[in-house]
């Protein structure tokens, strides 16, 4: 815009300044030059105000969407304006969208946590999309899948379509996440995706839940259906009647391995923008769920 006006001004100087009524034309040129100067100055000032602290921020300023000005500046790299191929965002085209991924392990409360997120009208967490093997066969198919999810072109029962303000999914550590961590970290940092680590503090309880769940897969205690997540106290009572047997000889090794896997995940993805949550804390204190508005890393 600034350049366009300036070019026009130059053009005016070169083409139109000759003779005729020189003073009048010069005045016009002068006024144009002043307007142009003031405009450039205001643009420069704006950019200086936006800060030069991070490279990401500067890159974002260049790509800045016209309707981006309402967004908190510190959040700029994380506010996106996807243009889905399969539909139009219509009146919500200027609503910024946050990208997130929940990194978790089976039986750690991620199903419950996702239900909480999806109860918000503008949040879409699309479930375990990488439970399907073809989607995580290689890095290419992983990245293609991520592109579709974050471009809002991925449809599940959780999709909120054009008015989504945050979109993501849950990703279990054993679903190609650890093997392809380098490329995924790069993708997340380039695209401004925030990571939510959701683990369970009590790994022994998690182990019991894993054993009970795999038992129920064939025992089908709830009237012949297998349910991974219960929805009432009665269902929970029925399932908890089963007491799994734990192999003591490998217990300590198994728990250590689980713990190590969590530590590895935290280390691999430490350079992403992330928050670390524990199921036990969430159950106790639900105000923690307000992380979407929190800035930076919150560790609890």
Ligand X SMILES: *[C@@H]1O[C@H](CO)[C@@H](O)[C@H](O)[C@H]1NC(C)=O
Residues that bind ligand X (CB under 6 A): 92, 95, 121-122, 134, 137-138, 140-141, 163, 165, 222-223, 235, 285, 287-288, 300
Smallest gap from residue 78 Cβ to ligand X (A): 14
Closer CB to ligand X, residue 4 or residue 233?
A: 233
Minimal distance, residue 246 CB to ligand X, in Å? 27
Identify which of residues 49 and 223 has a Cβ nearer to ligand X in the complex. Answer: 223
Smallest distance from ligand X to CB 125, Å: 15
Q: How far is the CB of 275 from ligand X (least distance, A)?
A: 10
**Any residues with CB less than 8 A from the CB of 288 and at least 6 apart, and which?**
277, 281, 282, 300
Q: What Cα–Cα distance (Å) separates residue 126 from each residue in 134, 135, 158, 294?
A: 17, 14, 6, 22
Cα distances (Å, whole numbers) of residue 223 to 210, 216, 235: 20, 11, 10
Least distance to ligand X, CB of residue 204, Å: 24
- Specify the 3-state DSSP secondary structure of 98: strand
Residue 3 contacts residue 43 (beta carbons within 8 Å):
no
Least CB distance to ligand X at residue 294 (A): 9
User: Which CB, 36 or 136, lies closer to ligand X?
Assistant: 136
Q: 5 or 230, CB closer to ligand X? A: 230
- Paired tokens of 265: 């995940």
Helical (H) or strand (E) element with 124: strand 123-125
145 Cα distance to chain centroid: 14
- Cα–Cα dist 53/199, whole Å: 32
Q: Residue 166 phi/psi, 5° resolution?
A: -150, 135
Contact 122, 192 (CB under 8 A): no
In angstroms, the CA 224 to CA 297 distance is 44
Q: 172 or 288, CB closer to ligand X?
A: 288
CB of 52 or CB of 137, closer to ligand X:
137
Least distance to ligand X, CB of residue 17, Å: 51
User: Using alpha carbons only, what angle is made at residue 104 by residues 100 and 108, rounded to the nearest 5 degrees?
Assistant: 130
**CB 135: neighbour CB atoms within 10 A?**
16
- Closer CB to ligand X, residue 103 or residue 278? 278
């Amino acid at each position: 815009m600034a350049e366009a006006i300036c070019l026009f001004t130059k053009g005016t100087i070169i083409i139109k300044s000759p003779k005729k009524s020189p003073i009048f034309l010069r005045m016009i040129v002068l006024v144009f030059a002043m307007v142009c100067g003031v405009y450039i100055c205001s643009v420069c000032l704006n950019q200086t105000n936006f800060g030069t602290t991070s490279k990401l921020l500067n890159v974002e300023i260049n790509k800045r969407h016209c309707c981006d000005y309402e967004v908190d500046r510190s959040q700029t790299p994380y506010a996106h304006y996807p243009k889905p191929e399969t539909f139009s965002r219509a009146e919500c085209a200027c609503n910024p969208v946050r990208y997130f991924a929940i990194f978790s392990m089976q039986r750690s409360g991620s199903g419950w946590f996702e239900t909480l997120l999806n109860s918000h009208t503008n949040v879409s967490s699309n479930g375990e999309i990488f439970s399907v093997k073809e989607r995580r066969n290689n890095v290419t198919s992983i990245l293609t899948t991520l592109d579709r999810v974050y471009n809002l072109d991925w449809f599940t029962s959780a999709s909120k379509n054009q008015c989504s303000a945050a979109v993501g999914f849950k990703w279990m550590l054993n679903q190609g996440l650890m093997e392809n961590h380098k490329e995924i970290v790069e993708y997340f940092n380039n695209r401004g995706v925030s990571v939510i680590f959701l683990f369970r503090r009590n790994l022994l309880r998690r182990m019991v839940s894993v054993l009970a769940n795999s038992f129920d897969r064939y025992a089908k205690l709830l009237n012949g259906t297998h349910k991974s997540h219960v929805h009432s106290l009665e269902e929970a009572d029925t399932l908890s009647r089963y007491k799994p047997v734990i192999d003591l000889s490998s217990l300590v090794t198994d728990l250590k391995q689980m713990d190590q896997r969590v530590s590895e995940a935290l280390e691999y993805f430490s350079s992403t923008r992330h928050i670390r949550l524990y199921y036990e804390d969430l159950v106790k204190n639900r105000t923690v769920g307000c992380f979407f508005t929190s800035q930076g890393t919150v560790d609890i």
